[in-house]
Amino acid sequence: MTTTSLSISLLLALGATMAGCAAQPVEDPGEGGGGSGGEGGGSSEPEPVPLTPEGRFAVTSDFDIATNMPGTAGAVINGIISATDDADDPTHWILDQLVAQLPAGSIKNTLQGSIPFVSGYLNDRLLDVAPDFVGRVVDLGDKFGQVARHFGTLETLEISANGAATKTVTGVQFTVDQLELSYAFADYNMDNVSVPNLTVTLEKTGKLTVSDHKVPLSYGKILRLAIDEMVIPMIDPTATNLEDVLKGVVNCQAVGQYVYEAIDIGSPSTFEQACKSGLKFGAQTIYAQIDRVNQSALEFGINGIAKGVDKNGDGKMDKIQTGAWAGTLTYSGQGAPLSMATFVGARE
């Protein structure tokens, strides 16, 4: 199951190439009057350089945080990995959930001692029990991996005449299978994140600099938002949560019948009900791991460089182009340098 494990290991790893190192300035995105300039004779006119950055801008940042999320956040993936990383999975995982829901007694003890045999018996009948289980979970992992590689934040940047600025993160944006969707925090009972006391400077070349600042985000809530509102509907449009996905790909009636046939005690209905309860418990366990991630904030410590453009020649900045963030990302005191991170903006 190596391929499966590698795919699934991406699932809840929205995280990160981050923290520990001090923020370093990003490379200057370009000089030469700040214009886009053409080659071969300069057939295109450079865009005017703004005289002031003052204004309110809608900004979208895009972060690649797909590897090595430290601390508790990295442990979130274990619940999904455990569903497919053994030779007799996924039925071994299904049986583990089923047994956990049986009342104490001889039936539970017998089945618990017979799991290796029973899981093999179920695996031989996998097309009846869970024909799409592995494929769906791998797909879940792949899509969540895409979320990790294209984790965007929706922001407003308000800049005063003297360059003092406030940044407010108002939502997130995910890209999966080339589909890009945005989610406002206000629509999901999540608070906006306000970051005051920034300094924005604009040079005569059009180079725009955003000072060092920290952006704390509720990583667990964002994970839950991504999995419930985007990833799961793409896998199963009829599902509203992870429990629905699992129950949609595991035939608990067949599981109950085959478990009864394998150990010849209890009843098919008893094992069927335990199977359904077990899938619910398994989904709740994964969600609980996500919730525990919120015990610490995911904190971006960043600075930025971009190019300011005056599209209409009125002296005011209209566009923020070729922006790049640099710095660190920290979780529970652990982290690593920030990987690729970009931003663009437009006057509202």
Q: Residue ranges per domain, the chain?
A: 2-35+44-347
Tell me the per-residue pLDDT of 176-221, one tens digit each, with 9 for 90 and over: 898 899 999 999 999 999 999 999 999 999 999 999 999 999 888 8
42 by DSSP, 3-state: which? coil
Averaged pLDDT for residues 9-36: 37
pLDDT exceeds 70 at position 292: yes
Residue corresponding to tokens 């839950």: 224
Distance between CA atoms of 210 and 306, rounded to whole angstroms?
8
Q: Which spans in 61-132 are helix H? A: 72-75, 78-81, 91-101, 106-113, 115-123, 126-129
Q: pLDDT confidence of 240, banded at 50, 70, 90?
A: very high
pLDDT exceeds 50 at position 3: no
Q: Is the separation of the CB atoms in 289 and 219 below 8 Å?
A: no
DSSP string, 129-153: H-TTHHHHHHHHHHHHHHHHHTEEE
Averaged pLDDT for residues 312-328: 95
Asked which of 25-29, 32-36, 199-203 is least confident by mean pLDDT, the reply is 32-36
% of the chain with per-residue pLDDT over 90: 45
% of the chain with per-residue pLDDT over 70: 79
Asked which of 18-32, 102-116, 227-241, 316-330 is least confident by mean pLDDT, the reply is 18-32
Tell me the per-residue pLDDT of 258-269, one tens digit each, with 9 for 90 and over: 999 998 889 999
CB neighbours (10 Å) of residue 240? 13
For residues 92 and 327, which has the higher predicted lDDT (pLDDT)? 327
Distance between CA atoms of 35 and 64, rounded to whole angstroms?
28
Residue 209's identity, in one-letter code, is T
CA distance readout (Å), 171 to 79, 184, 256: 27, 4, 44
Averaged pLDDT for residues 100-127: 87
Query: Beta strands 193-202 and 334-337: pairing type?
Result: unpaired
Distance between CA atoms of 57 and 156, rounded to whole angstroms?
6
Which residues have a Cβ under 8 Å from the Cβ of 155 and sit 6 or more positions away?
A: 58, 59, 60, 61, 167, 168, 169, 170
Distance between CA atoms of 142 and 24, rounded to whole angstroms?
32
Q: Which two tokens stand for residue 65?
A: 């945080």
Q: What is the pLDDT of residue 294?
A: 72
pLDDT exceeds 50 at position 12: no
Q: Which two tokens stand for residue 234?
A: 């793409």
For residues 17 and 201, which has the higher predicted lDDT (pLDDT)? 201
Q: What is the pLDDT of residue 331?
A: 77
Q: What is the pLDDT of residue 303?
A: 97
270 by DSSP, 3-state: which? helix
Q: What is the mean pLDDT of the chain?
A: 80
Distance between CA atoms of 154 and 222, rounded to whole angstroms?
13
pTM > 0.85: no
Tell me the per-residue pLDDT of 50-81, one tens digit each, with 9 for 90 and over: 999 999 999 999 987 755 454 555 455 444 54
Distance between CA atoms of 296 and 220, rounded to whole angstroms?
9
Distance between CA atoms of 85 and 68, rounded to whole angstroms?
19
Averaged pLDDT for residues 143-156: 82
Averaged pLDDT for residues 314-320: 96
Q: What is the pLDDT of residue 314?
A: 94
Nearest to 11 by CA among 137, 141, 139: 141
Q: What is the pLDDT of residue 5?
A: 32
Distance between CA atoms of 306 and 324, rounded to whole angstroms?
6
Asked which of 40-49, 201-210, 312-321 is least confident by mean pLDDT, the reply is 40-49
pLDDT exceeds 50 at position 18: no
pLDDT exceeds 70 at position 166: yes
Which residues have a Cβ under 8 Å from the Cβ of 6 and sit 6 or more positions away?
A: none
HSE-CB at 100 with a 13 A cutoff on CA atoms is: 14
CA distance readout (Å), 140 to 232, 235, 318: 7, 7, 40
Q: Which two tokens stand for residue 286?
A: 């994964």
